[in-house]
Structure 1
Amino acid sequence: MAPNKPSIVFAHGLWADGSCYSKLIPVLQDEGHEVVSAQNTLDSLEGDVDAVRRALARVSAPAILVGHSWGGFVITAAGTDERVAGLVYIAALAPDAGETPQDLIGKYEAPPLFAHLDAEDGRLWINRDGISDFCGDLPEAEQRLVWATQGSAAEGVLGATTSDPAWRTKPSWFVVSKHDRAVNPDLQRFGARRMGATTVELDSSHVPMLSQPEAVLNVIRSATASI
């Protein structure tokens, strides 16, 4: 393992688990990076930030945090850790101090996925007929796998806030998914502009790390090369 290569810690989104980065992790490992994908509980922001910090403790510093969707909210809070050297957002929510996911989502037209969610016992699930709004550019077999392995998000996370956004002090990169039906692409662009992120736009659904892994890898490579 080359000691001068930054480590990489991934944080996944609300209807996912760490396997959503399965097309990125082996490549980055082969390129000499220490890599860990935190398994977020999706119960609370605090719990998911703790999961990322535990993952940081398993790799060498400095590290790049990579967050998809809700994972962007998580790395915004966790990224103030002194071991973190940069942030990569993938089709993500990127809050400023005091903003909730509901606040951000409300800035633009509601994405189509939100019409295909079930609320059961305080958790949110994607209906079978909504999976195409989540990952419609994947082959059908991969879409079924994404649906079957989805996490269930606690409804309370939509009201979470952070007080000290890491992107104010750490360099950031942003992958905007132009055909995203889960997080409005204009909301992604707003977040990227506000933080002054190095931005790449892809013709992808909400899961470019699965549908266009090489393009996402190139963004991560750019981030690690700059540290």
Structure 2
Amino acid sequence: MHGAFADGSGWRGVCDILTAQGHRVTIVQNPLTSFEDDVAATRRVLDLQDGPTILVGHSWGGTVITEAGHHSAVAGLVYVSALVPDDGENTAKQYEGFDPTPNFTIDVGDDGFGFLNHDTFKIGFAADASDEDAAFLRDSQVPINMSAFATPVTRAAWRDKPAWAVIATEDQSFDPAMLKHMATRANAEITYVSASHAVFMTQAGVVAQTIQTAAENALAQVQVG
């Protein structure tokens, strides 16, 4: 699942790797119109799955999977440079006490929807991508209703489901210390990789391997059960 300012197209590399390994992969296209709408879109896709499912979220998508992860199909959660709020917390609260990210600049319109700034997009979101790939991400970005960041999670799914996390150590959208704090609190198994916030695209192999590990864990639990 993609995060804010993006869509699912950047996940093509991860999808191709996992599909070649025999997994069924479905990409959630979040509308980014509200927290509730994104959770509903995720649950709609989960209803289509025919077996144990690993729910994966990048960035803002981490908040969404934390709420949607209670779905009966979900056997595990993977957070990819993602927000991991707790019960009653919203996205905005996660930033408290951590370093600012001045290269991650959001321009908000009169209608309350935000885009990432055109000039700082590459360094703030996709510094390790090629100029061409970063430009495509920049020019295909999807704005998010900024009010979504103020909506709290009702119950954190990671309290009941096993979790994994991929943390990009060169992330300029989130303070990596914030990512570590959230993932550790969720008792997630953490993989660190030198990458930008666009780690889902620039380090597709690492992300796919983490999802594969989560899937193997889910299969083992089914076999034990």
1:140 alignment partner in structure 2: 131
Give the aligned partner of residue 154 of structure 2: 163
- Other structure's SS at 2:13 match: coil
Are 2:129 and 1:176 equivalent residues in the alignment? no
Confirm or deny: 8 A CA contact 1:87 1:173 kept in the other structure: yes
The structural deviation recorded for 1:102 is 0.9
Amino acid at match of 1:149: S
Question: Structure 1: 5+ residue runs without aligned partners?
Answer: 1-10
CA distance in 2, matches of 1:81, 1:57: 8
Is 1:110 equivalent to 2:86 in the alignment? no
Instruction: Decide which of 48, 59, 62 is 1:72's aligned counterpart.
Output: 62
CA distance in 2 between counterparts of 1:106 and 1:16 reads 24
- Residue matched to 1:12: 2
Which one of 20, 24, 29 corresponds to residue 34 of structure 1?
24
How many residue pairs get aligned? The number is: 216
How much does 1:96 deviate?
0.3
Q: Distance in 2 between matches of 1:55 and 1:196?
A: 26
173, 188, 191: which one aligns with 1:200: 191
Aligned-residue offset at 1:221: 0.9
Q: Does 1:185 align with 2:204?
A: no
- CA positional deviation for 1:112: 2.2
Q: 1:96 aligns to what SS in structure 2?
A: coil
CA contact (8 A) 1:117 1:130 kept: no
What is the CA distance between 1:58 and its match in structure 2?
2.0
Name segments (4+ residues, structure 1) moved above 6 Å. none
The separation in 2 between residues aligned to 1:27 and 1:189, in whole angstroms, is 26
Matches within 5 A, 1:205-224: 205-224=196-215
1:226 aligns with 2:217: yes
Is the 2:49–2:73 Cα contact (8 Å) retained in structure 1?
A: no
Q: Post-superposition shift, 1:113?
A: 3.5
State TM-score, norm by structure 2. Answer: 0.93
Contact 1:65 1:84 in 2 (8 A): yes
Q: Which structure: greater strand fraction?
A: 1
Deviation, 1:106, is: 2.2
Alignment match, 1:119:
108
Per the alignment, residue 5 of structure 1 pairs with: none
Shift of 1:44: 1.1
The one of 12, 37, 41 equivalent to 1:22 is 12
Once the 2 structures are TM-superposed, how far is the Cα of residue 218 of structure 1 from its aligned partner?
Answer: 1.0
Deviation at 1:82, TM superposition (A): 1.1
Is residue 150 of structure 1 aligned with residue 138 of structure 2? Answer: no
Q: Is the 8 A contact 2:78 2:165 kept in 1?
A: yes
Contact 1:35–1:59 (8 Å) recurs in 2:
no
| Structure 2 unmatched ranges of 5 or more | 219-225
Q: Tell me whether 21-30 or 105-114 shows the greater mean CA deviation.
A: 105-114
2:108 aligns to what SS in structure 1?
Answer: strand
1:162 Cα offset (Å): 0.9
Residue type of the alignment partner of 1:207: A
Counterpart-to-counterpart distance in 2, 1:196 and 1:117: 31
* Cα distance between partner residues in 2 of 1:172 and 1:35: 18
User: SS state of the match for residue 76, structure 2?
Assistant: strand
